[in-house]
Amino acid sequence: MVRHSRGRGILVYLTYFYPMTIRIQRYIALLSVVLFAGKLLAWWLTGSVTVLTDALEGIVNMVAGFLGLYSVILSARPRDTNHPYGHGKVEYISAAIEGTLIIIAGLVIVFQAVHQLLSPHVLQHLNTGLVIISVAGLINYMAGRWAVAQGRKHKSLVLESAGAHLLSDAWSTIAVIVGLTIMLLTGNKWPWLDGVVALFFALITIRTGYKVLRRSISGMMDEMDLSMLGNLITLLQQNRPPQWIDLHNFRVMDYGGMVHIDAHLTLPHYHTVADADREIHQLEQLIQSSLNNQIEVFIHIDACMPFQCRLCGMPQCPVRLEPLQALLPWTVDNIWEDAKHGKAVGG
């Protein structure tokens, strides 16, 4: 591996490995400023509390956009002495702050909506405001779909969270458009409807914030990605050679575009160090073949024990003490246990 000085190493890493994620998040941050200015103009023209609450979420969008940009840049930095596992978890911190801000924005909208319901006022310039809000909603929707797709492609929680936020904003904007359209068609005879729409908008916003916050907390607590774990176990089970007697204490952490995998692999006790090294590389290559992101694998080698003979499918084993009874299939339920398999088989 080519080594660089600290500053040059960071520059090379950003240039070659994460240019797209940083670029996309930068576009999202700049877009949030433009959309906020447009919604603020629409509120100034109409005086609608629904439009105002939509604009208030624009403030959250801007804060989250630039915070996300900072976290993407930081998470792209290579690991160092102080951060041996890299900086990827900063994405979860950024997403947690964004989720909290979204929830706060939703609560502010609830307050404004209730105020409008209690003291409704007639709106102005609905035609112009409707056009501005419609354009902003369409841009939000397209940008959100793109950000979510790119976040999944590049394994970036920040981009996915930003995209989910933009999509939530787009759906909320649709509610705003429906409300303004009804008020426009009815000659603005029901000004209280503005508060009703805003309240509906607030519930959608709070729900989105909760989902973003829930996922970020799960990541910070290293909650297992059961979908990824299940896919990996299926892959390993289908390509399992007979010398892989047992696989246990299998743990997966996925953040910052890097998948960390720890596992204990049981091999025949008469294997040499060179044999074990070959099996580790074979296991690593098999896992890498199913994942698009970078991986870091730590495999602890265990020697087989006599009680595992009944689970071992090694042909012509020179030290077998018991005949093979049945191979133990690897599943989500047994592969994560921190114990060698076999003691419960056959009593």
Query: pLDDT confidence of 267, banded at 50, 70, 90?
Result: very high
DSSP bridge partners of 248:
264
Lowest-confidence region among 7-16, 213-222, 271-280: 7-16
Name the burial class of residue 284, with classes exposed (0-12), middle (13-18) and buried (19+) by CB atoms within 10 angstroms of its CB: middle
Q: What is the mean pLDDT of residues 327-335?
A: 87
Asked whether 10 and 78 are in contact (CB, 8 A), the reply is: yes
pLDDT at position 88: 67
Query: pLDDT confidence of 95, banded at 50, 70, 90?
Result: confident
Q: Can you read off the two tokens belonging to residue 317?
A: 């084993």
Q: Using CA atoms, how far apart are residues 20 and 147, in angstroms rounded to an integer?
A: 11
Domain parsing of the chain, residue ranges: 6-220, 225-347
Q: Using CA atoms, how far apart are residues 287 and 268, in angstroms rounded to an integer?
A: 22
Asked whether 203 and 106 are in contact (CB, 8 A), the reply is: yes
Helices (DSSP H) in the chain: which residue ranges? 6-16, 19-46, 49-75, 90-118, 126-153, 157-185, 193-220, 226-238, 273-288
CA distances (Å), origin 271, targets 203, 267, 277, 321: 61, 7, 10, 17
How many Cβ atoms from other residues are within 10 Å of residue 154's Cβ?
A: 19
6-220 folds as Alpha-lytic protease prodomain-like (1.20.1510)
Lowest-confidence region among 10-14, 186-190, 207-211, 313-317: 10-14
Q: What is the mean pLDDT of residues 102-109?
A: 79
Q: Using CA atoms, how far apart are residues 55 and 47, in angstroms rounded to an integer?
A: 12
Q: What class has domain 225-347?
A: alpha beta
DSSP bridge partners of 258:
255, 294
CA distances (Å), origin 273, targets 19, 143, 279, 320: 40, 52, 10, 21
CA distances (Å), origin 301, targets 12, 242, 246, 319: 35, 15, 10, 19
Residue whose pair of structure tokens reads 């720890």 in the numeric block = 262
Q: Can you read off the two tokens belonging to residue 294?
A: 């970078």
pLDDT at position 347: 36
The residue ranking higher by pLDDT, 320 or 193, is 320
How many Cβ atoms from other residues are within 10 Å of residue 81's Cβ?
A: 5
Asked if the domains 6-220 and 225-347 are classified in one and the same CATH topology, the answer is no
Q: What is the mean pLDDT of residues 262-287?
A: 91
CA distances (Å), origin 47, targets 82, 102, 129, 133: 52, 23, 9, 13
The pLDDT tens digits of the residues spanning 35-57 come to 888 888 887 887 776 677 677 76
Of residues 28, 103, 105, 12, the one with CA closest to residue 62 = 28
pLDDT at position 25: 79
The pLDDT tens digits of the residues spanning 147-163 come to 888 877 776 767 777 78
Lowest-confidence region among 21-25, 35-39, 303-307: 21-25
